[in-house]
Copies of this chain bind each other. A is one copy, B any other.
Amino acid sequence: MAMMRAVTFSDGAIKFRDDYPRPEPTSDEVLVRVTRAGICDTDLQIVAGYMSYRGVLGHEFVGVAEGGSLAGQRVVGEINCSCGQCDLCLGGLANHCPNRTVLGILGRDGAFADYLTLPERNLHAVPDELSDDEAVFVEPLAAAFQITRQVRLSERTRVLVLGDGKLGYLVAQVVKLQNAPVTVAGKYPEKLELLEHVGVGTVAVDELRRLPAFDVVVDATGSPSGIELALQVVRPRGTVVVKTTVAERTELKLADVVVNEITLVGSRCGPFPAAIEALKQRRIEVIPLIQDIYSLAHAEAAIAAAAKPGARKVLLAVDESVPAVKRVL
């Protein structure tokens, strides 16, 4: 059996292994040789026990298809692998298939490895214009675009993004693309500055209550307390988009939701084509988000770096094209 390197999580421990079995694609799957992977806050939640996941970590990646109609091309991949036969799949909600596996999150080995497999229909070709370091952002950027499919945004919609982290940076730019006036509230001056550089207005979170209430608030804090703050700064009949997945249970003053008739919208994975196109057209910046690139063998240190408060995006160079630790900024 062919072996490969992989970063696994089981029994509460992250392990780098060089003797992990290389996955064998089934008839509708494609083997992908991973070149870059990204560490997402969901990975950090998984390592904290969310989803009770065991297996190879990681779901943000770019790689090269080793088979199928995209053989030899660079690809990114949608992470939900659905059955294609249940009512939800047939009803157009394949991402919510109850029989689904999810790359590196639920019942399917992930991207922090030399190889992964995904159904061929999950793969999207990466345009030549995009570097690997950019393409690895397609998955989280698609999640940011999902908001535009769930909430109507226009130049008259005042939007607040709570959280100046990786997701907040992407969400704010996507909202701005819809011509909606957008403000990001955060607590890291250097991150707020990154946002100002891409033309997004910012406010220190402590100053937030001085502003008029917002029509739409996106909780991208990654913190259980984000939703409570969101409910305080959204206008009556406004919308709170919940992007934060936390393992913990969250306490909520639900009476505020009722009295102010707030709409809460949970939002998860989104459309890859929109994300790829926006990156290709250079309408979204992602490179300034990158903090460090680690080699796969140093994934545990990389995850620790990603978990530090205020960390930006930490990438894994799976193809060994970069030295053990390359500090980008």
Which residues in A have some Cβ–Cβ distance to B below 8 Å? 50, 88, 93, 96, 150, 224, 227, 235-237, 242-247, 249-268
Partner of A236, one of B96, B237, B261, B265: B96
Q: A264-B264, A268-B259 are in contact. Are A250 and B251 (CB under 8 A)?
A: yes
Q: A258 near B249 (CB under 8 angstroms)?
A: no
Check A244–B258 contact: CB distance below 8 A. Answer: yes
Distance in angstroms between the alpha carbons of A260 and B150 in the assembled complex: 13
Q: Do most interface residues of chain A lie in helix, strand or loop, or is the interface mixed?
A: mixed
**Which B residues lie within 8 Å of A50 (CB)?**
255
Residues on B with C-beta less than 8 A from A96 are 235-237, 260-261
Contact among B150, B236, B243 for A88, CB-based, below 8 A: B236
Residues of B within 8 A of A88 (CB): 235-236
B254, A242: Cβ atoms closer than 8 Å: yes
A106, closest chain B residue (CB) = B259
Q: How many copies does the complex hold?
A: 2
Known contacts A93-B237, A236-B88, A237-B96; is-contact A258 B266 (Cβ 8 Å): yes
Q: Which residues of B contact A236 (CB under 8 A)?
A: 88, 93, 96
Question: A93 — which chain B residues lie within 8 A by C-beta?
Answer: 236-237
Give the residue among A254, A256, A263 with the most B Cβ atoms within 10 A.
A254
Additional A-B contacts beyond A250-B254, A252-B252, A261-B265 (6; CB < 8 A): A93-B237, A96-B236, A96-B260, A224-B254, A252-B254, A257-B266
CB-defined contacts of A260 to chain B, threshold 8 Å: 96, 266
Beta-carbon contact of B250 and A258 below 8 Å? no
Which residues on the B side are within 8 Å of A266 (C-beta)? 254, 256-263
Closest to A250 in B: B254
Is B245 touching A255 in the complex (CB atoms < 8 A)? Answer: yes
